[in-house]
Amino acid sequence: MDCIGSIRAMEILDSRGNPTVRVSVVLDSGARGTSSVPAGASIGVNEAAELRDGDMFRYRGRGVRKAVGNVNDVLAPALMGMDVTRQVEIDDAMREIDGTANLERMGANAVLAVSQACAVAAAASNGVPLYTYLGGKDAVRLPMPMINVINGGKHADSSLDMQEFMIVPIGAPSFSEALRYGVEIFHALARILGTRGYTSAVGDEGGFAPLLTSNEEAFDLIMEAIVAAGYRPGVDICLALDAAAASFFRDGNYWLSRTGYRSKTSVQLIELYQQWVHKYPIVSIEDGIAESDPAGLRELMTALGHQIQIMGDDLVVTNPEFIARAIEQGSCNAALIKLNQIGTVSAAIAAVELCCRAHWHYAVAHRSGETEDTFIADFAVAMNASHIKTGSVCRGERTAKYNRLLEIEGELGARALFGHDARSR
Ligand code: PGA
Ligand code: ZN
């Protein structure tokens, strides 16, 4: 048994230059673990709540001194002396102290940073890598990366309606090869953008953020880049989309700025998705319909659910309750897993278990505001995730996760497996 000796939190910066929480846990044995939490921009209404100071004279209200104080003054004393391997007990204790359903009192940012740091410390204490500690010795599968090459929506000023245009290297034989395919296409895309007079500046998740004339143009440019890099669309590389549709859903309609601010009904939007799926090798659409549009969600599943992955992100927010409901109602057929949407490691594991029981694919995912923390890379392997979504192949906070996966692949050597069948579910 190795008990928690000390817990200290501090305020650090995320990749957007906003404050976030980092926690270090030291155990009686001297083993230690540090972890930092990310922050989203397109946040589902039912996510666990991060605590921000609201002091407009510091970081325009976005400071996290209160969350840091909650760790140091409230959570730390309560958890001191607990066996660090008792993750569920640690997480439950924090949930009880908080006393709210969405962790708004302590702050999900405070609670998750402690939860993750405890897992990292426990792995160190056991002398095993984090993916083995959380996933056991059978955790040997590297996830298929969904690499975000064009950023739109709330992640860029490109004014593309769709938030993320991703490539999925389904033909790659290994994780490292998948990453290489992705990088080569990313660079080919940069060259193509340059020849068309578009900027190759990047958005929050490292994908390019050019001022394109339509969502289709984004797909067309990516298709061109795939071929220019020497790959076969639909064979080596497929496409995936995160619409984050709640960000353009107002008054029961979907407002697409790149079609002249004409609104679309859910039926019209789904028809557009069907055209895209017909024209491009799209294997996954995430949040294609807003979470507050149940009729639209049903229609999307009827139209495309048998054909491709219909991913729930804002819809299920890594919450076992919402995932159970989505399974029952058939409102999606795959899920994003984001630890900070639910606030503890053990609750995220419970969410994964539900996905497994429903035979869903699930992608462990970053947030648009990230840190250099690599917890999610290990977590994806530990959870046997079908996919990882951690942005583009540039920006250090994104490549940190890819580089950690490369390290894990190397460590596993011949035991490493890669991906699930990305096209079938
Ligand atoms: P967010 O975006 O981190 O800004 O919420 C990521 C996503 O929608 O998948
Ligand atoms: Zn999303």
Read off the pLDDT of residues 12-65 as tens digits, 9 standing for 90 and up.
999 999 999 999 999 999 999 999 999 999 898 999 999 999 999 999 999 999
Secondary structure (H, E, C), the chain: CCEEEEEEEEEEECCCCCEEEEEEEEECCCCEEEEECCECCCCCCCCCCCCCCCCCCCHHHCCCHHHHHHHHHHHHHHHCCCECCCHHHHHHHHHHHHCCCCCCCCCHHHHHHHHHHHHHHHHHHHCCCHHHHHHCCCCCEECEECEEEEECHHHCCCCCCCCEEEEECCCCCCHHHHHHHHHHHHHHHHHHHHHCCCCCCECCCCCECCCCCCHHHHHHHHHHHHHHCCCCECCCEEEEEECCHHHHEECCEEEEHHHCCEEECHHHHHHHHHHHHHHCCEEEEECCCCCCCHHHHHHHHHHHCCCCEEEECCCCCCCHHHHHHHHHHCCCCEEEECHHHHCCHHHHHHHHHHHHHCCCEEEEECCCECCCCCHHHHHHHHCCCCEEECCCCCCHHHHHHHHHHHHHHHHHHHHCEECCCCCCC
Centroid of ligand 1 to alpha carbon of 149 (angstroms): 14
Over the stretch 69-98, which tens digit does the pLDDT of each residue have?
999 999 999 999 999 999 999 999 999 999
In the chain, which segments carry CATH 3.20.20.120? 141-424
Closest residue by CA, ligand 1 atom 1: 40
Residues 6+ apart with CB under 8 A from 121: 4, 25, 26, 27, 31, 32, 33, 84
Question: In 10 A of CB 149, how many CB atoms?
Answer: 28
Centroid of ligand 2 to alpha carbon of 182 (angstroms): 20
% of the chain with per-residue pLDDT over 70: 98
Question: Predicted confidence band at 261 (pLDDT cuts at 50, 70, 90)?
Answer: low
Question: Predicted confidence band at 259 (pLDDT cuts at 50, 70, 90)?
Answer: low
Strand, helix or coil at 126?
helix
Of the CATH numbers 3.40.50.300, 3.40.50.1970, 3.50.50.60, 3.20.20.120, which one belongs to the domain with range 141-424? Answer: 3.20.20.120
- CA-based nearest residue to 312, from 303, 301, 108, 302: 301
Centroid of ligand 1 to alpha carbon of 41 (angstroms): 6
Question: What integer is the mean pLDDT of 124-139?
Answer: 98
Taking 50 as the threshold, does the pLDDT of residue 361 lie above it?
yes
Residues with C-beta less than 6 Å from any ligand 1 atom: 40-43, 163, 242, 244, 313, 365, 367-368
What are the C-alpha distances in Å from 153 to residues 56, 206, 329?
26, 14, 28
Question: Predicted confidence band at 422 (pLDDT cuts at 50, 70, 90)?
Answer: very low
Taking 50 as the threshold, does the pLDDT of residue 231 lie above it?
yes
Question: Predicted confidence band at 335 (pLDDT cuts at 50, 70, 90)?
Answer: very high
Centroid of ligand 2 to alpha carbon of 286 (angstroms): 6
The number of the ligand 1 atom at minimal distance from the alpha carbon of 204 is: 4
Q: Ligand 1 pocket: which of 367, 376, 401 to mutate (most atoms <8 Å of CB)?
A: 367
CA distance 321 to 325: 6
CATH architecture of 4-127: 2-Layer Sandwich (3.30)
The number of the ligand 1 atom at minimal distance from the alpha carbon of 163 is: 8
Strand, helix or coil at 312?
strand
Q: What is the pTM of this model?
A: 0.97
What are the C-alpha distances in Å from 92 to residues 87, 105, 376?
8, 15, 21
Provide DSSP, 335-401. Answer: EEE-HHHH-SHHHHHHHHHHHHHTT-EEEEE--SB--S--HHHHHHHHTT-SEEE---S-SHHHHHH
Do residues 376 and 398 touch, judged by C-beta distance below 8 A? Answer: no
Over the stretch 382-407, which tens digit does the pLDDT of each residue have?
999 999 999 999 999 999 999 999 99
Note the pLDDT of residue 423. Answer: 35
Note the pLDDT of residue 260. Answer: 60
Note the pLDDT of residue 159. Answer: 72
Residues annotated as catalytic (active site), given as ranges = 205, 338
Strand, helix or coil at 168?
strand
The number of the ligand 1 atom at minimal distance from the alpha carbon of 314 is: 8
Amino acid 257 reads S
Over the stretch 167-187, which tens digit does the pLDDT of each residue have?
999 999 999 999 999 999 999
Over the stretch 206-226, which tens digit does the pLDDT of each residue have?
999 999 999 999 999 999 999
Note the pLDDT of residue 156. Answer: 87
* Mean pLDDT estimate for the chain: 96
In the chain, which segments carry CATH 3.30.390.10? 4-127
Taking 90 as the threshold, does the pLDDT of residue 258 lie above it?
no
Taking 70 as the threshold, does the pLDDT of residue 233 lie above it?
yes
